[in-house]
Amino acid sequence: MASTDSVSNLLDYYRRRANEYEAIYAKPERQADLAFLRQHIPARLAGRRVLEIACGTGYWTVLLSRNALSVTATDLAEEPMRIAQAKGYGAAAVRFESADAYALGDALGRFDGALGVFWWSHIPLTRIEIFLTSLHGRLEPGARVLLMDNTYVEGSSTPLAERDADGNTYQLRALADGSRHRVLKNFPTEAQLRAYLEPHARALTYRALQYYWLVEYELK
């Protein structure tokens, strides 16, 4: 069962992985998908006050900052966020906040845009509604939300190692320091995503790329 231990393990994993995280963007077979996403995602959030969930090392924060009115980038892992904070944003209105995605506080403010990249797959199935309540509580009606994550592709994705009683799937991942980690990683279908999101959304679209999926909707 996905417990608080699996969430703690995930946090520890990303803290350890901070310095090697962006290697995932160098996989040759994924470059066409990423080229599209690097253009499309910032364009869809241009001119908005954007709340970014699980910003990590700031790869997408930099891209967002070029077109968004403002970006509030959140994460709970300090090590990757320090890398994000050290990047150049020029005169863009970017701030970083340590925040729990399952309990986003009022102090963060209100937003008319949101982005979550490689976050949905790490949410235990029993906590998806908790996350959505937290996220939507920080957004204004009509806010545009973009969620992007991996599609499972045999030979490119890390193989799945196990499935728990709730239906969550896990990968065993190795880091450069030799440590191995059991990481919760779910691969939802379009139907599953729609079932969770359509009660809250209007104008929901799902786009399947070769290595990623992208959902966009406006909050009711």
Supply the DSSP symbol for 177.
Answer: T
Indicate the domain borders of the chain. 4-152+189-219
What is the per-residue pLDDT for 142? 98
Q: How far apart are CA 37 and CA 8, in angstroms?
A: 29
Is the confidence at residue 67, as pLDDT, over 50? Answer: yes
pTM recorded for the entire structure = 0.95
Q: Which residues contact 78 (CB under 8 A, 6 or more apart)?
A: 15, 98
Confidence of residue 1 (pLDDT cuts 50, 70, 90): very low
Check the CA dihedral 177-78-9-120 and report its sign.
Answer: negative
201-208 vs 111-117, strand pairing mode? unpaired
* Segment 133-189, tens digit of pLDDT: 999 999 999 999 999 999 999 999 999 999 999 999 999 999 999 999 999 999 999
Q: What is the CATH number of domain 4-152+189-219?
A: 3.40.50.150
For 84-179, strand residue ranges (E) read 94-98, 111-117, 139-150, 160-163, 169-174
